[in-house]
Amino acid sequence: MGKNSIGKEEKDCVSVSSPPPGLTGMIYSAKTGEKSKKPVSSKTDPILPVKEPDKWDDEADLVVVGGGGAGLAAALRAAQKGASVILVEMGAETGGATQHATGAICFGSKAQKRMKDINLPPMEVIYNMALAGSNYSINPHLLRTFLYKGAETMDWIEDLGIEWEVMTLWNMPNCHVPKGTLDKHWLMAQKDVTDLLEKLGREKGVKYLLKTHASALVKKDNLIVGLKVRRGKEYMYLKAKKGVILAAGGLSNNRELLKIYIPQAYTGCGASMDMPSAMGGVFRMGLGAGADIAGVNSISIFDGGIPYFEKTGSFYRYLYSGDVQLSRQPWLFINKCCERFINEDSASLQLGFISKGSAVMSQPGGRAYVIFDSDYEKNINIFKGDFCEHPLTPDLPGMDKWNESICPKDWRIAVKKAIDSGMIQIDLTLEGLAEKLGLDPVRLKERVISYNKICEARADNEFGKKAEFLIPIKNPPFYGIKVGSNIGASQCGLRVNENFQVLDTNCSVIPGLYAAFHTAGGAIGENMMGGSVLADCHLAYTSGYVAGEIAALNG
């Protein structure tokens, strides 16, 4: 074990010539003779690399930071290519955000080719569609890697033992899920994949260090040569002879970083469904090593962002928690002006929950208000929920094995807690509900009366909401939930090339440093809100697969 105490960590920081654009307050090493400065904010400043220790505690060809889909794929692929690998994961288990995902989107896989009457556009059409959809802000070389290596990656996973079946998402047969998933709820559909990647990695000799926190990169001259980690109260130095792959998520739950790099998320998102550990630590390590930034002001979003942080300080909220799922149903949605602004049924929208979340973020104050009455428990069974909007109930397949520490398997439990905490407001009158929500009582009552007339006529001529979802708000008490958008993942990260090598501000490769998945930025472009044909766990597997192979062969 290394002997550095936590309180003395600043002393061996390596100096960099200047901070990345827009950032100040970096720590400069006393050993360099430069004036030392304390960080402006410990949650936003770059984490400078440290100098090579006198003695390493362990070593491998590659050190991978993060045990989600990208890190697991990178570790296994590198091991298959003959590299020794140490994987560092701060949690007690691997899987990360990827194990909670539903499907991996790609084009041209063996699973798709098995389908009858498949109708996929040519790859170049998809490429041009994605490029145009980003307003030409995606690195085209990186985009080609995701598209053309995507099918190869999915076929590789299938060859490992996961048989894919393909579901249609957004009018294309493109979403890959493990066989049997379509007969269940979507919950943790990719866990079979992440479990298999870990298992096979162990068999190939990958060393997994769980409950281990990445502390700083280790730099020698201009080369990243290892990683400093903390286990408990002690530090270890891990030598990486061929490089370090940063694949430990993004910055979704660090609101101070969001304010700087993704301001639209800071103002428009009420919650983050990304992993609680997505605090941007490895992103800051990359900045400290001189990395450039890509994907500025870009996020992938869902709907259902209840802003608990305004009361409790906690920004994270699991997507399938019952209160979140209740807020995502096609009730009456209004903005601060008590105006309707969207067809509340996300299944009827072009990009579903993405469009719904985008619409909410675009309202005054970045918030919307969900209004319904006391019959919500009966009516939610009419809605049933499309895709990932189906509320959890104990009778769903797989609920007997569900870990309730993540969220209750009965959606009503979380709803009751939200009511008790005041995140869901109740009142016997619409005027009283309006006051509790901070809305104009006269406007709210008039809007509900107008909406009820639409429901009675069974025709929504304004937004085209389906008749079966036009349920009037008549029976008190009345309920209201303030919501923002919901961060699926931050898409601002370290700039990488098509091989997932991290680039500095001069567009040069930082030797020995790679980044994958949401630690890397730019996958959906710059200043983007929503997603693209790529914005799902396919990004994790493909970026990890490519980064692991390139790092193993190039070192």
DSSP H/E element including 159: helix 140-160
pLDDT greater than 50 at residue 244: yes
pLDDT greater than 90 at residue 162: yes
- pLDDT band for 116, please (50, 70, 90 cuts): confident
Q: Which of helix, strand or coil describes residue 96?
A: coil
pLDDT greater than 70 at residue 16: no
pLDDT on residue 31 = 28
For residue 534, give Cα distances in angstroms to 60, 69, 131, 150, 517.
32, 15, 11, 9, 11
pLDDT on residue 419 = 98
Structure tokens at 5: 């105490």
Instruction: Supply angle C-alpha 402, 162, 120, rounded to 5.
Output: 110
pLDDT greater than 60 at residue 241: yes
Segment 72-110, tens digit of pLDDT: 999 999 999 999 999 999 999 999 999 988 888 889 999
Tell me how far apart the alpha carbons of residues 213 and 92 are, in angstroms, rounded to a whole number.
11
Tell me how far apart the alpha carbons of residues 225 and 243 are, in angstroms, rounded to a whole number.
6
pLDDT greater than 60 at residue 9: no
Structure tokens at 239: 């030598």
Residue type, 163: E
Total Cβ atoms within 10 A of residue 266: 16
Query: Across all residues in the chain, what is the average pLDDT?
Result: 89
- pLDDT band for 23, please (50, 70, 90 cuts): very low
pLDDT on residue 2 = 43
pLDDT greater than 70 at residue 10: no
pLDDT on residue 30 = 26
- pLDDT band for 34, please (50, 70, 90 cuts): very low
pLDDT greater than 80 at residue 39: no
pLDDT greater than 80 at residue 536: no
Identify which of 209, 287, 225 has the alpha carbon closest to the alpha carbon of residue 251. Answer: 287
Q: Please answer whether residues 474 and 373 qualify as being in contact, where contact means their C-beta atoms are separated by less than 8 angstroms.
A: yes
pLDDT on residue 174 = 83
pLDDT on residue 555 = 65
Q: Please answer whether residues 491 and 521 qualify as being in contact, where contact means their C-beta atoms are separated by less than 8 angstroms.
A: yes
Q: Which of helix, strand or coil describes residue 95?
A: strand
- The residues pairing with 424 across neighbouring beta strands, listed in sequence order, are 481
Could you report how far apart the first and last alpha carbons of the chain are, in Å?
A: 26
Question: Mean pLDDT across the stretch 436-455?
Answer: 98
Q: Please answer whether residues 86 and 207 qualify as being in contact, where contact means their C-beta atoms are separated by less than 8 angstroms.
A: yes
Q: What are the backbone dihedrals phi and psi of residue 545, each rounded to the nearest 5 degrees, phi first?
A: -60, -50
Total Cβ atoms within 10 A of residue 136: 10
Q: What are the backbone dihedrals phi and psi of residue 124, each rounded to the nearest 5 degrees, phi first?
A: -65, -30
Structural domains of the chain in order of their starting residue, each with its CATH number: 307-487 (3.90.700.10)
Question: Mean pLDDT across the stretch 452-467?
Answer: 96
Identify which of 331, 330, 363 has the alpha carbon closest to the alpha carbon of residue 345. Answer: 330
